[in-house]
Amino acid sequence: MEVWFLRHGVTAHNQEGIWQGQRDVPLAPEGRAQARRLAARLERLGLTWTALYSSDLERALETAQIVAGRLGLAVRRDRRLREVCVGELSGLSRVQVQERYADYVARSREDPWSTRFPGGETLAELYDRIWSFLGGLDEGRHLVVSHGGAIRAAVLGVLEMKNAAPWRIRLENTSITRLHFPEGVGGGGFVHTVGDAAHLESGWDLEG
């Protein structure tokens, strides 16, 4: 089984450095352009896809719909693919979070996985729901449109590094992260690619 995780296109909150979490924010115009380039790149691969799944949050769903339109696939929504719920931090800038939630920031640096976002989830809870989703997939090659935190949780699970700092993994918007499970999720897996966003680089003629 192969799982190709696709991060959603960029949003205005991404561009402005504002925490989103599960706030339902649409793609920015640039994010739609990114999604079109991603879809064109995937089409040119000429691969057969078993299914296309997406988080039900608008920024992911819109990205998935652009990809689906290019590849002729249906989009299957799954709430487990949502970003981590950051609770009271949603809508705040990084500076505001540092100023208002200094205790949380300090605790999260010491223990990022079990420290709960104020009024939200822990990364351990995010990990559990992402791996619940993965465990239910059938054999095949799947496209999965999700979010930075969720994709990092999947990668660290494969690497058996659940307690590592997830934010050290950089994922550009619409980047591709490929995971391979030769014997299914229960049999362990391999990381092929993390954060591949070559389609966003200049010189790629993809929108024709």
**20-45 pLDDT tens trace:** 999 999 999 999 999 999 999 999 99
**104-158 pLDDT tens trace:** 999 999 999 999 999 999 999 999 999 999 999 999 999 999 999 999 999 999 9
Q: Does domain 2-200 have CATH number 3.40.50.300?
A: no
- 49 phi/psi in degrees, rounded to 5: -110, 135
Q: Which is the catalytic residue, given 2, 62, 83, 121?
A: 83
Strands 176-180 and 190-196: antiparallel
In this model, does residue 204 exceed pLDDT 80?
Answer: no
Q: Which is the catalytic residue, given 2, 8, 121, 142?
A: 8
- Active-site residue, 8 included: yes
Residue 157 and residue 136 in contact, taking contact as beta carbons nearer than 8 Å: no
Structural domain boundaries in the chain? 2-200
- Active-site residue, 58 included: no
